[in-house]
Chain A
């Protein structure tokens, strides 16, 4: 047995012992490949469910900070897909209005003036980026739940979808997080109207989600039956991204 082919049983055993860690090392820097990567993503659905149904409280508010705790604006990163590609921030289409529709009884188009006339919410909160950094800023806007009352979603609406004029950037949301009292359509940052790099004229903001869920340059808000992914979500980022 030991002489056949020059590889003894013991050698074979050694090879096996070495192969374990070696394959593990070779696996590193690896997203899981064509077989595992989709499975890992599918597994993320369980974490989405746990995040929404177990961790998320519909009423717990993110803690507020004094204005003095704000992160210097030049240190609070801003980015957009359009900017990453063309080094210019996207420009709002002329006659911009927020379109609210999908599975609702009374679809609406809202101008910035109309949104400004609704009762505003303002808070100074901590922003959590998926990368691991945080920054504090003040955001002012209209709760998504207030806009929802205007359009009256149908019972079959289970998700929300936010679209933008930033090179197709979009996000799908669970209703529970969207109706959270601190989830707002923001038109001001640090007490001034949104600038171009912050998502002007209107952006989604919420301290209960990671930054990449907070659609900037919003054009459309639609209530849907199906769960929409989103720009980063479709590339593999966790969908719920609740904090």
Chain B
């Protein structure tokens, strides 16, 4: 049952995707190294009662990049550039090419998203019709861009809390901005696990699609 291959992802999107994966791993690992220097949130001696299973703990060496605080900072502030630039190029391409249309989650996607969730929960027999991506995928791919933006903005908020005090205030002050920055890490990690899990379990052909640009899987567009 050979399906005709479908052209799926523009070269720029594929490049941005894989570069982003590398830079994100580096950003997270160097961030965890930085965290080890003060594994608490809130002012000195008055920690905020925010949920943090890693309060007072450092992460295992294999998860950290930089070796010590200065090394972690240097990696983090160097990788931040290509991380942000890749994100910017990706968004610029989406805006310019119109490729944002099948990706952006809109109000009208709420109902199909529920249907899709019901299908995944085996409460609905039929796979709901979809375009390039189903409504849940749209939610995920829109959400991850928003998450990326929050991670970058909260990063700037703790990088320059005096010069960008308006931004830091938006996150509830330096100490909370630092916490939100940390929280984005775990959403990124959760997203990645789910994303990789779904690719491998539901649609392994999409992995080839993201590498070669040609998709031969079982979810061709219903468009």
Contacts from A to B (Cβ < 8 Å): 24-25, 27-32, 37, 40-41, 43-44, 46-47, 51, 55-57, 60, 62-63, 71-72, 75-77, 126, 128-136, 207-208, 232, 235-238, 242-243
Contacts and interface: CB of A to CB of B under 8 A. Distances in A.
Given A25-B62, A28-B64, A236-B70, A133 B77 contact: no
B160 A55 contact: yes
Given A28-B61, A29-B62, A31-B71, A131 B38 contact: yes
Given A55-B164, A134-B43, A134-B174, A44 B35 contact: no
B163 A27 contact: no
Given A31-B74, A31-B75, A237-B73, 18 more contacts: A29-B65, A30-B65, A40-B74, A46-B81, A62-B165, A126-B174, A128-B174, A130-B69, A130-B73, A131-B69, A132-B34, A132-B178, A133-B43, A134-B174, A235-B70, A237-B70, A243-B160, A243-B163
Contacts of A24: 25
Given A133-B38, A238-B73, A28 B62 contact: yes
Contacts, number: 118
Interface string B144-186: 0000000000000001111111000000001100100000000
B29 interface: yes
Given A29-B67, A135-B43, A47 B61 contact: no
B175 A28 contact: no
8 contacts: A29-B65, A44-B77, A46-B81, A71-B45, A72-B45, A130-B73, A208-B163, A236-B74
B78 interface: yes
A77 B37 CA distance: 14
A31 B43 contact: no
A62 B169 CA distance: 13
Contacts of B43: 71, 133-136
Interface residues of B, number: 39
Given A128-B174, A134-B44, A207 B75 contact: no
Nearest to A127: B44
B40 interface: yes
Nearest to B61: A29
Nearest to B72: A31
Given A71-B45, A133-B44, A30 B160 contact: no
Interface string B38-81: 10100111100000000000000111111111110111011001
A134 B162 contact: no
A242 B160 contact: yes
The dominant DSSP class at the A interface is: loop
Contacts of A126: 161, 174
Contacts of B81: 46
B77 A47 contact: yes
A31 B77 contact: no
B26 to A, nearest CB: 8
A133 to B, nearest CB: 5
A75 B45 CA distance: 6
A71 B44 contact: yes
Contact of A132 (B25, B37, B61): B37
Contacts of A47: 77
Nearest to B66: A31
Interface string B91-112: 0000000000000000000000
Contacts of A56: 163
B77 A132 contact: no
Contacts of A40: 71, 74-75, 78
Contacts of B165: 60, 62-63
